[in-house]
Amino acid sequence: MAVFEKPHALIDVPLHYCPGCTHGIVHRLVAEVIDELGIEGKTIGIAPVGCSVMAYNYFNCDMIEAAHGRAPAVATGVKRADPENHIVFTYQGDGDLASIGMAETVHAAARNENITVIFINNAIYGMTGGQMAPTSLVGQVTQTSPYGRDPKACGYPIKVCEMLSELVGPEYLERVTVNNVKNVRNAKKAIKKAFQNQIDGKGFSLVEVVSSCPTNWGMTPKQALEWIESDMLPYYPLGVYKDRSAEQKEAE
C-alpha cells in the first residue's frame, strides 16, 4: 500500500514557486480534491495573472490562462458552454481577484455562478516583485508602500469574504489558511466542499486561503508562517462566512 503519492491531477514537474511559498500546498490540496471527487476528466481550471499564472503547467485537467482579473468571467463562459459536463475552477491571487478583477468577482458571486474560486490572499503582488495589494495590511511595507501602508493615502485592506457575504447570491464563502497541519486539513475540507457544491449545482463557492510570501515579505519561510498567525489572522479571521445550504437546513 502506498503511504504517500502525488495526486494524479497534479503533473509531476518542478513548480516555479519560491521556497516556502504556500502555493504548492494549495495546488496539492486542489489536486487531491479533484482526484477524490473523480472529476479530473471534466474539470477546466482557469489560471490568473500573478504568481500562479503558469498553473496551467501544473494541473493535469484542461486549463485556460485568463487576462488579469477576468478569470470569473472566463469561468462563466466555460461553465455556460456546457453546464452539465464542465466543472470549472479559478485559481486567483489577491491583486487579480480583489483589485483589477473585483467587478468580475462580485458579479460572479451575485449571479451565484456555479463555479469554484480558490483565492490566494498573501497580502502582496508577488510576481511583479512585492507591491502593495488590496489586501496588504495597514503599515505593511512593500515596494509601493515603502513607508508602510498608510490608510489616509490608500485606504484599508479589503476583507473579501466579509464583503461578499453581504450579497444574497453566493452559496459558500470560507476563509482558511495553511500555516500548520491542522489548518491544512481544514483548508482541504473547505476546498472539497467548494467543488462538491458545484457538482451539486449549488452555485458560487469561494475559498480564501490566507497564504505566505516569504520572498516579498522579506522573511524566512518559518517566519512567514508565524506572521500569518500573528498579523494576518487577527485582521482576516478564519471561518465560514456564508453557507446557504447549511443555513437553510438549520432554518428548517
Partner 1 sequence: MADKILMKGNEAIAAAAIKAGCMHYFGYPITPQTEIAAYMAKVMPKIGGTFLQAESEIAAINMVYGVASAGKRVMTSSSSPGVSLKGEGLSYLAGSDLPALIVNVQRGGPGLGGIQPSQSDYFQSTRGGGHGDYHMIVLAPASVQEMAELTVKGFELADTYRMTAMILADGTMGQMMEPVSIDDLKVNPAPEKPWATTGTKMAREHNIVNSLSLVPEELEELNFKRYDRYKVIEENETMYEEYMVEDADIVLAAFGIAARVSKNAVDEARKLGIKAGLIRPITLWPFPKAPFKAAAEHAKAFISVELNMGQMIEDVILATESKRPVTLCNRAGGMIPDPAQVLNAIKEVNGGIA
Residues at the contact surface with partner 1, assessed by CB under 8 A:
40-44, 53-54, 56-57, 59-67, 70, 73-82, 85-87, 103-104, 106-107
Buried b (16+ CB within 10 A) or exposed e, 114-152: bbbbbbbbbbbbbbeebbbbbbbbeebebeebeeebeee
Q: Residue 107 or 189: which CB sits closer to partner 1?
A: 107
Q: Residue 61 or 210: which CB sits closer to partner 1?
A: 61
Q: Residue 79 or 242: which CB sits closer to partner 1?
A: 79
| Minimum CB distance to partner 1, residue 170 (Å) | 15
| Minimum CB distance to partner 1, residue 21 (Å) | 19
Are the beta carbons of 212 and 232 closer than 8 angstroms?
A: no
Residues forming beta bridges with residue 91, ordered by sequence position: 118
* Cβ partners under 8 Å of residue 119, min gap 6: 92, 93, 94, 97, 98, 160, 206, 207, 208, 209
Q: Residue 82 or 150: which CB sits closer to partner 1?
A: 82
> Grid coordinates in use for 47?
489560471
Residue 74 CA, distance from chain mean position: 16
| Minimum CB distance to partner 1, residue 10 (Å) | 12
Distance CA 13, CA 1 (A): 24
- Three-class secondary structure of residue 44 per DSSP: strand
Q: Residue 10 or 232: which CB sits closer to partner 1?
A: 10
| Minimum CB distance to partner 1, residue 227 (Å) | 30
Residue whose C-alpha cell is 496588504: 136
| Minimum CB distance to partner 1, residue 204 (Å) | 14
